[in-house]
Chain A
Amino acid sequence: MKRYIIYVIIILFFIFIQSTPFYENISIQDVYPDLILISFLLVALSLGPLAGEIVGFGVGFLLDILGGGLLGITSFTYTVLGYGTGLIGEKIYGRGILFPVILLFVGTILKAIILSLLASIFLKPGYFGFFSGGKIFLESVLNAGIAPFIFMLLSGIEKRVVD
């Protein structure tokens, strides 16, 4: 239980950080790393599919409310990602530092695909704004690059909390 609370607090912290105007200054070609996605996926990896989908739903819903866009779009996406990542976490053992890198790279692209599909249904048919200008690929690279550091942070916290 303590672990869940810690992880949720960490995710909420990153939501807060990413909501600040200061965060937009650390961007490359108007693309900044998605710390929320990084932390959420790494948490889901550790917690498993059930916890992953619940946390995903909660985080996504909160982001939809804070974002003011289409309600449910991010919760849907994060629920699917949380479940999938949790399943992977159950199946794969002894993963190294490279694993978070690959996870975030693929996860970011999957996020964009799911969001695009949902947007094309509910917003505008054929809406693929997330892929315009190749920005999603830059975001994938940024997320993958930062993932190991957050992974180490979470591992460190988990060790201290659990131990």
Chain B
Amino acid sequence: MNSRTERSRSLLILFILLFVSFAAMGFSQKKVVFNFKSIVYGLVYPFQMAGVKSVNFVENFFTSLKENKRLREELAQTKALLKEYERTLYDFEELKAENDRLRRLIGIQSHFEYDTVIAEVVAKSPQNFFKTIVVNRGSSSGVQRWMPVIAYQDGQKCVVGKVIDVQKNSSRVLPLTDQSSYIGAMLKKSRHSGILVGQGSFSDNVLLKYIDRNAEIEYGDPVVTSGMGGVFPKGILVGYVQSVVKKQYGVFQEAVVKPTVDLSRLEEVYIIVKKVMEDYHQILEE
């Protein structure tokens, strides 16, 4: 009984205290009369919000499925477009590189003391024993047979070979390494001259023959064109001495020369446009 009475008492006091608190809240907000509408609204609102959010969740779920499909399609289209742009960018970069290269060539050409025609290497002979280079300049550009051909590699002007065959828009160049190539050359330091002869398929090096036996030759000595023979202008770098061949007898010695030009990396050449004395070539070839 006591506990029941006590419980009733505590409940009564509870309600009184809660009422007082409620009243305090109401008066605190300057609401003399309780606004039941707002109270009900305040109580209902959370549940209303929960309901709306649940419905929205379901709606959003189905919308997101549809949206997902649309986004996938859009992504595929965007990827295809991106691939196209990448191709365009690649082409652009290639063109830019080509442009820069040609500008550089023109720039180099302007430094030459002789007239030149820039030509691109378009083909190389597949044969082993007769390696020639085909360039895209011919008689229409003023190219003639026996004209000297040089290149610019690693910042150096160097000998490539001679034009041996001319068509209207293309020419065939005989490289200095070919067995039938003869170029007048000399040792830059000692000024001893000789004839530069190719070794063909035997070696990528060339031989500087008919050097005076008394000439002092050292490893690494530069070899340049001598200007003799009337083909190449004087002073164009051919290569560097690798070794010396001195026979027991004879008045001459030979030097193995490694050409500066790397024929495998050749992309463009300069054909020196000058009057060529055909008779000299015939003598040399004989």
Does B10 reach chain A (CB closer than 8 Å)?
yes
Q: Could you tell me if B14 and A83 are in contact, using CB atoms closer than 8 angstroms? A: yes
Of the candidates B9, B24, B28, B49, the one whose C-beta lies within 8 Å of that of A50 is: B9
Does B26 reach chain A (CB closer than 8 Å)?
yes
> For A80, what are the chain B residues with a Cβ–Cβ distance below 8 Å?
18
- Rounded to whole Å, the gap between the CB of A137 and the closest CB of chain B is 18
- Rounded to whole Å, the gap between the CB of B258 and the closest CB of chain A is 74
Does B22 reach chain A (CB closer than 8 Å)?
yes
Q: Could you tell me if A79 and B21 are in contact, using CB atoms closer than 8 angstroms? A: yes
Of the candidates A79, A117, A121, the one whose C-beta lies within 8 Å of that of B17 is: A79
Does B20 reach chain A (CB closer than 8 Å)?
yes
Of the candidates B17, B24, B41, the one whose C-beta lies within 8 Å of that of A71 is: B24
Known: A70-B28, A118-B25. A79 touches B42 (CB 8 A): no
> For A72, what are the chain B residues with a Cβ–Cβ distance below 8 Å?
20-26, 28
Q: How many Å lie between the Cα of A53 and that of B17 in the bound state?
A: 8
The dominant DSSP class at the A interface is helix
- Rounded to whole Å, the gap between the CB of B13 and the closest CB of chain A is 6
Q: Could you tell me if A126 and B14 are in contact, using CB atoms closer than 8 angstroms? A: no
Q: In B1-35, which residues have CB < 8 Å from any A CB?
A: 6-7, 9-10, 13-14, 17-18, 20-29
Of the candidates A49, A53, A71, A121, the one whose C-beta lies within 8 Å of that of B43 is: A121
- Rounded to whole Å, the gap between the CB of B261 and the closest CB of chain A is 73
Does B92 reach chain A (CB closer than 8 Å)?
no
Q: Could you tell me if B45 and A76 are in contact, using CB atoms closer than 8 angstroms? A: no
Does B56 reach chain A (CB closer than 8 Å)?
no
Q: Could you tell me if A76 and B6 are in contact, using CB atoms closer than 8 angstroms? A: no
> For B22, what are the chain A residues with a Cβ–Cβ distance below 8 Å?
72, 76
Does B250 reach chain A (CB closer than 8 Å)?
no
Does B283 reach chain A (CB closer than 8 Å)?
no
- Rounded to whole Å, the gap between the CB of A93 and the closest CB of chain B is 15
Most chain B beta-carbon neighbours within 10 Å: one of A83, A120, A121: A121
Does B38 reach chain A (CB closer than 8 Å)?
yes
- Rounded to whole Å, the gap between the CB of A121 and the closest CB of chain B is 3
B-contact bits for A76-105, CB 8 A (1 contact / 0 none)? 100110010010000000000000000000
Q: How many Å lie between the Cα of A60 and that of B9 in the bound state?
A: 21
Q: Could you tell me if A76 and B41 are in contact, using CB atoms closer than 8 angstroms? A: no
Q: In A20-54, which residues have CB < 8 Å from any B CB?
A: 49-50, 53-54
Does B39 reach chain A (CB closer than 8 Å)?
yes
Does A129 reach chain B (CB closer than 8 Å)?
no
> For A64, what are the chain B residues with a Cβ–Cβ distance below 8 Å?
24
> For B6, what are the chain A residues with a Cβ–Cβ distance below 8 Å?
50
Known: A60-B21, A70-B25, A71-B24. A117 touches B43 (CB 8 A): yes
Of the candidates A73, A83, A117, A125, the one whose C-beta lies within 8 Å of that of B41 is: A125
Q: Could you tell me if A53 and B46 are in contact, using CB atoms closer than 8 angstroms? A: no
Q: How many Å lie between the Cα of A118 and that of B39 in the bound state?
A: 9
Q: How many Å lie between the Cα of A66 and that of B39 in the bound state?
A: 26
Of the candidates A117, A120, A122, the one whose C-beta lies within 8 Å of that of B26 is: A122
Q: Could you tell me if B21 and A53 are in contact, using CB atoms closer than 8 angstroms? A: no
- Rounded to whole Å, the gap between the CB of B132 and the closest CB of chain A is 81
> For B7, what are the chain A residues with a Cβ–Cβ distance below 8 Å?
49
Of the candidates A50, A60, A75, A120, the one whose C-beta lies within 8 Å of that of B42 is: A120
Q: Could you tell me if B17 and A57 are in contact, using CB atoms closer than 8 angstroms? A: yes
B-contact bits for A113-128, CB 8 A (1 contact / 0 none)? 0000110111001101
Give me 12 A-to-B residue pairs in the complex whose CB atoms sit less than 8 angstroms apart, sorted by A's number.
A53-B13, A54-B13, A72-B21, A72-B25, A79-B21, A117-B46, A120-B42, A120-B45, A121-B42, A122-B29, A125-B41, A126-B49
Q: What 8 pairs across the A-B complex have the smallest Cβ distances?
A: A72-B24, A121-B42, A76-B21, A72-B25, A71-B28, A50-B10, A72-B21, A75-B21
